[in-house]
A and B are shown apart, each in its own frame.
Chain A
């Protein structure tokens, strides 16, 4: 347990050092503190992970102290390390470490270098808390904490109010999801008097909780996941989040934070398998998001925006996997996606760095010969994300598609279509960026250079992982052992024994091989089409003002932001003014002032009775006595 605490607390320590005294430290020291703490966490995580692999490590489930204690329930500050959290631990600290050292170079000229590192460390801290919490509320701390870091890092260059708007939007949209999450937590707490994962799982066996409640709980928790993992309809913050520095996009908005929703659902798999309706819904939302985002990705010209929509789309695929009960496949894709997407983002950062901030692929081209390492690593990752054999994405995506095929052919068809689009827009990106002639200014061309080793090293490592990461889950048809499936099986016990069944046991080998071959050929065809269009045909995307028809609508992301603005933002702002100017000022306060005036007026009238004439008082007295007699003797 103490090592587990060290893993979590080291990043927090790094944050505190850089936040409090970082300004006085040289940048190198700041960078070493920031990266070093994560590195130690990574080493410790690796030890744990290896322990789990060879079976020497047991599950750790400890309560550090009582956090919120009431007579009816106690919520502890507790940690849980099992195969699932260990998997995430590896991804978060491993990729986290690579991105930290990348940032030492990438952010070197920024005056708030130490602030950047403090935020990154804080993010890792909250992310670790998220995956290591042993109950829903600790996970919720991490959940909101990473949201905060995301806010801070998207708006890192806070002089630009557009960036600040993007940051605020991310935070608010996440909060919408978080409300769902919180209500789900209330339902759980009310019905189980506990939020501890293990306790709830055990209690479910004997519980008389109604099916409808389980559906409600799982749906509400999923609303949280929609926000954090950018699913329809709460996805619009993620593309805007690209305003943050590129290492942030790689770490938070691609590899780790946005997968928190998937983590949470896999963690709560014992609830989800009891709610097939929710699973159906998740699969539907997932596949819809996958396709929707992919279509937008086809038309984007900002290198980071293409990657952002691709992330949304890939997350959609992962959710679809969860929805059809293929939890392992979802996790598998999280891992491989973390490799190749982090590599792609860091590669785009390398390009942007070399071009001094240029992000529009229409102004790039021909970078292959100037930045060979960036190019090759980017290419490998693109092949991986497109699902080309034998790169990692091929295996994880194939598993998902096969599981979908078994579950529902329509899901499979739509997801396959999204995958084809992915291959196309990724290679459109590769070709436009790296091949052909350079289309930027001479000034830029003059400065073109490969990035320094601190940047290329993480690229190489990630590209290697993206290439061979498929080994984590070799399919059964290859007569191989599916490492991840076996590894995670203790966590997914209830899911595997549930009706849904994990992955694609039911498919015949022939069908499976056919699906694989089909997906592979489809990916190659898409790439080929991208080649003919953007290399042989030398077609460039049109300028913004020349967009028209359907293309224009897609290019403008179906105007979803504008629609949300019209439906939600504008009415609330209008309401705010009405409430203040009319309801508050005129109605409520008007009533108060009116009652004040009335009492003044009444007082003013009554005051006249105090006239000072004894005769008047005597008269009043006599009349009163008469009235009293009249009342007492006559009326009664």
Chain B
């Protein structure tokens, strides 16, 4: 029952937010986000000791076909729910300074999206999962479409529309996959699906149905072309939602719904996926080197990072899984920090063009310090959260194949190249007319970075608790994936 409260809190607050009107919407939404986070933390205890201990809820919903409103919270889900419920209020908070038109709609959409995301991470019924999956897409579509800041509205509409259609098309394959499964297994329930015995051919078909949906969402090379433009055109809060949380839906989907259900299909296509994932790592990194638009650079960088996460998942090793799980978490914080820095720069200078910036560190030392911290986390410096993730991911890939690991490992070099180049051009050197009067961080902005910094070092120095919480869930998934 408590699980229902956790899930529906954002929805309820979305309604409150809408009713509270434009003036107070922000505060109500923030309160709703914070309340959901508190609710989430209440669930922490059982996962601390290790062991699977899922908290479940089930209620019959539709009899024919048999669809149950069933939820399950285990260690893996808990970490993603925690990430979501923590980041959503933080993201709401980052907009404190902005005058947002029609704020009540904007913030209730954000909470509606949170509702969808939580549903995705909690659902233990395939159809329910699909419903939440699509539900999460709709709010972000409107947020990106209506609140984007780029002047070229036609270009924005095209980019966002493409994102919508592309990801929707992918999800339809997943729906087909679920229907196909239902016909063969007679149930949407996750435990029944885990227990299914499908032929290799059937699994192979299923693999592509699910993989397409997830791969587009993550995105995995070559299904990524919607992503840079969408990240660029969305308002920063939208980009943070997309990169910080939404893409984790895809990785989560791989772990929870694809690997254990169609293990033979996965085994058949793993080499191909791994190669494409690693291509994405290098390809995205190389492109990021010459990007001039800060948000696009970060988009390609994020694309490279999630490529490595995908590779880790498909190594089907404990280390790869754990690395993927840790990195999902770390990437969530770090990418929000990076896009927040971009947002601050955009607000103060009016541009995201790297070549027009420079010298900001002269006038804004606090911002410079916070920014370099997230940059260093993003290049996986040891003691930061991303190092743990990247170390385990690369080790997982190494266990699969030494040469692939050596190639994927180039990310630590290329990452340093594009991130330090960006930081140098934006922050270092002499100031110019755009940056000369750059105002340093105020305490509210500082606070956001403080939260992110804590996350960076806490999970970089002491990741054990988080890893222990997720290990039983991941082991279970791994067992089913190696059937």
Contacts and interface: CB of A to CB of B under 8 A. Distances in A.
A401 interface: no
Nearest to B285: A576
A69 B50 CA distance: 13
Interface in B403-450: 405-406, 409-410, 412-413, 416-417, 420-421, 424, 428-430
A159 B290 contact: no
A250 B325 CA distance: 43
A573 B290 contact: yes
A572 B405 CA distance: 20
B421 A189 contact: no
A272 interface: no
A183 B287 contact: no
Interface residues of B, number: 55
A577 to B, nearest CB: 6
Interface residues of A, number: 50
Given A186-B405, A592-B166, A584 B468 contact: no
B430 A580 contact: no
B61 to A, nearest CB: 33
B286 A155 contact: no
B165 A168 contact: no
A176 B424 contact: no
A190 B463 contact: no
Contact of B428 (A67, A158, A186): A158
B429 A164 contact: yes
A161 interface: yes
A28 B163 CA distance: 58
Given A584-B225, A588-B222, A576 B467 contact: no
A579 interface: yes
A439 interface: no
A589 interface: yes
Contacts of B430: 159
Interface in A129-152: 137, 140-141, 144-145, 148, 151
Contacts of B20: none
Given A168-B420, A573-B290, A579-B287, A186 B398 contact: yes
Given A159-B430, A576-B290, A141 B412 contact: no
A179 interface: yes
Contacts of B475: 71
Interface in B386-415: 388, 391-392, 394-395, 398-399, 402, 405-406, 409-410, 412-413
Nearest to A151: B420
A206 B166 CA distance: 57
Given A66-B464, A168-B424, A71 B471 contact: yes
Interface in A49-89: 65-72, 77
B349 interface: no
B376 A148 contact: yes
Contacts of A144: 381-382
A588 B223 CA distance: 8
A69 B467 contact: yes
Mostly, the A contact residues are: helix
Nearest to B368: A158
A185 to B, nearest CB: 9
Given A68-B388, A179-B410, A183-B409, A171 B319 contact: no
A72 B318 contact: yes
A362 B203 CA distance: 76
A436 B322 CA distance: 67
Nearest to B409: A179
Contact of A72 (B319, B388, B405, B416): B319
Contacts of A579: 283, 286-287
Contacts, number: 127
A462 to B, nearest CB: 32
Contacts of A482: none
A168 B421 contact: yes
B395 A175 contact: no
A71 B318 contact: yes
A26 interface: no
Nearest to A579: B287
Nearest to A174: B416
B279 to A, nearest CB: 11
A171 B318 contact: no
B467 A68 contact: yes
A70 B319 contact: yes
A183 B399 CA distance: 11
Interface string A166-190: 0010011001101100110010011
Contact of A161 (B289, B391, B413, B424): B424
Interface in A262-306: none
B412 A175 contact: yes
B353 interface: no
Contacts of A572: 286, 289, 417
A179 B467 CA distance: 25
Contacts of A588: 222, 224-225
A577 B287 CA distance: 7
A575 interface: yes
A588 B392 CA distance: 30
Contacts of B225: 584, 588-589, 592
A580 B290 contact: yes
A183 B467 contact: no
A190 B401 CA distance: 12
A81 B250 CA distance: 46
Contacts of B256: none
Interface in B154-183: 162, 165-166
Interface string A496-509: 00000000000000
B318 A182 contact: no
A140 to B, nearest CB: 6
Contacts of B462: 65, 67
Given A161-B429, A183-B409, A596 B165 contact: yes
Given A572-B286, A572-B289, A577-B290, A172 B420 contact: yes
Interface string A69-112: 11110000100000000000000000000000000000000000
Given A71-B318, A159-B430, 17 more contacts: A19-B369, A68-B388, A70-B318, A77-B461, A141-B382, A155-B428, A158-B428, A161-B428, A175-B412, A182-B412, A183-B398, A183-B402, A190-B395, A573-B290, A583-B283, A584-B287, A588-B222
30 contacts: A67-B462, A68-B464, A69-B468, A70-B318, A70-B322, A70-B467, A141-B383, A144-B381, A151-B420, A159-B429, A159-B430, A161-B424, A168-B421, A172-B413, A172-B417, A175-B413, A182-B409, A183-B402, A183-B405, A572-B289, A573-B289, A576-B286, A576-B288, A576-B290, A580-B287, A580-B290, A580-B291, A584-B287, A596-B162, A596-B165
Closest CB pairs A-B (n = 3): A589-B225, A576-B290, A141-B382
Interface of A: 19, 65-72, 77, 137, 140-141, 144-145, 148, 151, 155, 158-161, 164-165, 168, 171-172, 175-176, 178-179, 182-183, 186, 189-190, 572-573, 575-577, 579-580, 583-584, 588-589, 591-592, 596
